[in-house]
Each structure stands twice: as C-alpha cells, then as structure tokens.
A and B are shown apart, each in its own frame.
Chain A
Amino acid sequence: MLDRFNSSTSKPNAVRLLAIVFFVTALMFAIIGTVMGDSFYVRLATEALIFGGLALSVDLLLGHVGLLPLGQALFFGLGAYVSALVLKEWAASFWLAIIVSMLFCAFAGLVGGLIAIRSKGVYFALISFGLAQVFSKVIYNTRELGASDGMTGVPVVTVIPGLQTDNPLGFFIVTWLVIGGIYLGLRYIMQTPMGRLFGAIRVNEHRVCFLGFDAWRFKITAFVAAAVVAGLSGALYPMLRGFVSPELMFFQVSGNAIVNVIVGGSGTLIGALYGAGLLTMLKSILGSFTVHHHIVIGLLFVVVVIAFPRGIVGYLVPVLEARLSKKKPGEH
C-alpha cells in the first residue's frame, strides 16, 4: 500500500485545493445541520473529525515513515481516558485535559516506541498490535476505570467563556480548529528536512544511515509525534460523547483508522481526513438501514483498493494537477 504518490514529492496546489474543499465542506455541513436543527449530524461530523485525527497519526507512520501501526488506537484511547479522568477527577478544564493528555501520550509514545521501533516491517506491526491488546485488556479489567463499561458522566466544560462542549456547533468548530491545526502542522513538518527524511526512511531506510543520519531517531520522533496526535484527538472524544470505553483501544478502531487512510490515500495526509469523513458518515447512514453495514463497508473497501489503489486523494491529485496546469495557459 505504500504508493509512489507522496505528499512530499507532489505539487502542493491540488493537495491544497482538496484540503480547502474538505475543511470548507465540513464547516458548511455543520452549519447547515445546525440551521436545520439536526444536532445528530453535527455531532457525527465532530466524531468523524476526531477519528480523522487518529487517521492522520496513522498516515504519519504508514504513509510517511513506512511503519504500519496496527495498534494506534492505544494512544487514541489513552488520550480519551486521561482526558476523561482529568475532567472528572481533577478539574473540569478543557485546556488542562488537552495538555495532560498530550503529555501523557508523548510519554506513552516514547515508551511504546522504544519497544516497537526496534523491530521492522510485520514485526513492528505486531508489536504495535500487541501493546494495544495488552492495555485495552488491562483497562477492560480495571474496576477503578469502569472496567468493560468504561467511564460515564464526563462533565460538560467551558472551552472559552460562552462556549461549552455541549454546544454541538461550538464544539464542532473547536474540533475543526484542532484537527485543522494538526493537519497544517503535519503538512509543514513534511516540508522540513525531518519530514523529508521520514519519506526517505519509507523508501529506503538502509540507505538513510549511510547519509549520516540515525534513522532510529527519526522513527522514534515520528512515533512520539503520532502518539501525541492520536492522544490529542482522543482527548476530544469524551468531551463530545460524555463517556469513554475500552472499545476505543480495540483493534476495530485501529483497523478502521488504517482503512480510512488507505481509502483516502496513504501518504497524502488530507486523504486520511477524507477517508475518516466518508466512512464515518457511510457507517451511520448504512447503519440506519441495516445492521449488516460492515459487509457493505468491507465490500466498498475491496472495490476502492482495486479500483483506486492510491486511494481517493491519490487518484484525484494527478487528475486535478492536469486540469490546473491546462487552465493556466488560457489565463494569460
């Protein structure tokens, strides 16, 4: 799935256009939903963005460094639990919950990375998977953390004066800004020497060492960054839904994030958000017609992978590039 298409080598115009379209469409969707008084879809769109954040962290590892994280939901779930604990037990502060979750996930990412980065390829994937299994089962069996029921009753908090997390459109905009910020941040990193070296590691890790760079350092940096991104996204979850459960760390969540990235286009960043947006919406819409919506999604995944092996964005970017460059001569 590691395609030749990669955000570090493509021209930015088409990608930028797709990013603008994504964020503007998402905002319009939430505003229209609010105007029509349908807060269900506004909250669903918020959830899609939150899972989009997790997908971005997967794309950082999978699409840019070439590491397949089968257990990335671990950090998403840790972020969610830490955020819920801070809000319930410590102080009902949005900012404190966000900062503590990020710091905790940075530390967890460092420890997890020290264990997982030692291995390559399928072994890395399995260690990542194993770590998530272990921690989700530990939480599943810890009564103090609500065990299999998770924790409910996460309080509504104030983000900025006048804006609380139970305001559907307000919290959508908060999430929109956070995920947009993560997207722009990652996009920027990919243009720096460090980001370019991530790409080099994906293409040919062996050679990177002979250029005078310690590949391990860049891999662990990326792993910690991905853990922080996943944890930050996860920290928003209990604010939206008011509860957390061990399912947030289950393989289903990690697997969905990988599907989001691959359907959207791995190595494109914005593709991760398109994937998360489309699949979250699709699941909800199909789920209201049939309980067997996973079958439809599974089939769709197979079709997309065969028809568009580079994902939706991976397919669209060259098409848009061609259109954009054709237009230019006519515009004087």
Chain B
Amino acid sequence: MSQSSNQDTVLSVQGLGVSFGALKAVHDLSFDAKRGNVTAIIGPNGAGKSTAFNLISGAIVPKTGQVKFEGQVVTGFSPDKMLSAGLSRSFQITNLFFDLTVHENLRLAGQYLEHGQGWWAPVQRSQAALARTDELLKQFGLAYKSNELAGYLSHGEQRRLEIAVALASKPSMILLDEPTQGMSHADTQETAELIASLARDFGLSVLLVEHDVDLVMRVSDHVVVMAQGIKIADGSPQEVRANPDVQTAYFGDKH
C-alpha cells in the first residue's frame, strides 16, 4: 500500500472541539486525510475517538473548528446533506433495516444514485439502484442471502451489509465506526482485507475509528492517535508505533 507523496487532501479537520459539561471530550483536533488513503483514529478507551468520529460525520455539532471535505466546509451538515457531499458513514452498533430483506436494504441505499429521478415509476425500473445492489451483493458475498431479512443474518454478515449499505450511494469517502465491533477473529480478518481493498481497488478514501490496533496498523496509511480528547501523534503506522508518547499512552502497558 505504498503511496505517492503528491496526493491531495480530501478531508481536512481543523481545530475541532466539543465539551460535555466540564469534560473536554475532544479538544483542538486537526489532521488531514489524503485521497485514496485509509486514515485511522485510534486511542485507548475514553480517548474521544468516537466523539471525534461523530463531530466529523455531523452527528454532533462541534463547538470549535471546522471540517472541510473536498474543499467545502461541511461542519454541522445534516446527515442527508453530508451524503450528498459524498461523505458516507457506517455505524458502530449495526444500524440496518432489520425488517427488510438484504436486497431491499441495498436497493434503498442505491436509490440515491437515481438522483431523485423516477419517483413515479415502480422500483423495478430503478436501473442504477438495482445494478448497484447486484454489484454490492456480489462484492460483499451476500448474494445468497439476498432475500433473507437483514435481522436474520449472522453478526459478521450484518457488519458487512452495514458497510455495503454505506457504499451504495458511491460516496468518495466513507467513515467507518468500529467496523469489526464484536466480530469473530475470522470475520475481522475478512473485514481488514475488505477495508484495504476499498482504498486499493476502488479508490475510496477511508476514515476508520477502531479499537483493534493490529488491524489498524495493518490496513492504514495514516494513523491519528488520541488520548484524553487530544491528538498525541499523527503519522504512518511505523512512525506512530515508534513514537514514545504513543507507547506511553497507548502501548505503555505492553512494555
């Protein structure tokens, strides 16, 4: 996953901060994510990485700072506007249409590709949405579960569907919130491979919040380390691993 050095910045986080009462959950967080890279935010429990994720994705409105995506300030955008800007997200706690089939979950998300056309025609005529659905069913190995209700899938399959749904609108960047949450070892391996391939094979920019450090070090191009609400290090996996502050804050207990 070697990258050339002249890549442009797709997502730029500048001085982002929010407090909950007296607690500075995230303070003055800045970093850039490069196009086609996997950028990861890691940190020990309570480091503020999930809050940072929510600030970037628009789920929480930041008190300070801004988020620039493709040069456009998207700070505090509503979720549907965020998706229109090309920024999609997945959820830490699986958030699907459990009472609908796998196919319908993907088709609903793929409907975005119709760009508001064909609202008066039956969905069988939504060519772009249906084509995208078939493509994702194949790509995520869910074709054989197409007519199954999403609620009846195994946990690993639901996590995969979660990512597939987030990709259906063909975003240019995807934010993944703990994608391997609660997964078995085998499923985690598969997901790691999947995340790497999103950037490598599909040219997507990925921002990942993840507690599994091994996975992050394996798939990421760029790692942002947080502790107690602030960024303590920022660099390639090798640089971050070698950083003494990170070793103290994060890997400290290993040594």
Contacts and interface: CB of A to CB of B under 8 A. Distances in A.
B interface majority secondary structure: mixed
A193 B126 contact: yes
Q: Which residue, B108, B112, B120, has most C-beta atoms of chain A within 10 A?
A: B108
A314 B238 CA distance: 59
A9 B119 CA distance: 18
Interface stretch (B66-74, B77-85, B135-143): B77-85
Contacts of A134: none
A210 B96 contact: no
Given A203-B99, A204-B96, A210-B89, A197 B123 contact: no
Interface string A243-262: 00000000000000000000
B176 to A, nearest CB: 13
B123 A210 contact: no
Given A204-B95, A204-B97, A207-B95, A196 B108 contact: yes
A192 B119 contact: yes
Given A210-B89, A211-B83, A211-B111, A191 B122 contact: yes
A83 to B, nearest CB: 28
A interface majority secondary structure: helix
Given A203-B100, A204-B97, A209-B78, A192 B123 contact: yes
A188 B125 CA distance: 13
**Chain A contact patch, size range:** 20 to 34
A194 B169 CA distance: 17
A196 B104 contact: yes
B128 to A, nearest CB: 11
Interface string B92-129: 00011111110010011101101000111111101001
B150 to A, nearest CB: 9
Which 8 A-B pairs have CB atoms at the shortest separation, nearest pair first? A212-B83, A209-B79, A191-B122, A212-B112, A203-B97, A210-B79, A203-B99, A211-B109
Given A9-B101, A204-B96, A207-B95, 6 more contacts: A193-B111, A193-B114, A193-B129, A194-B119, A212-B83, A214-B80
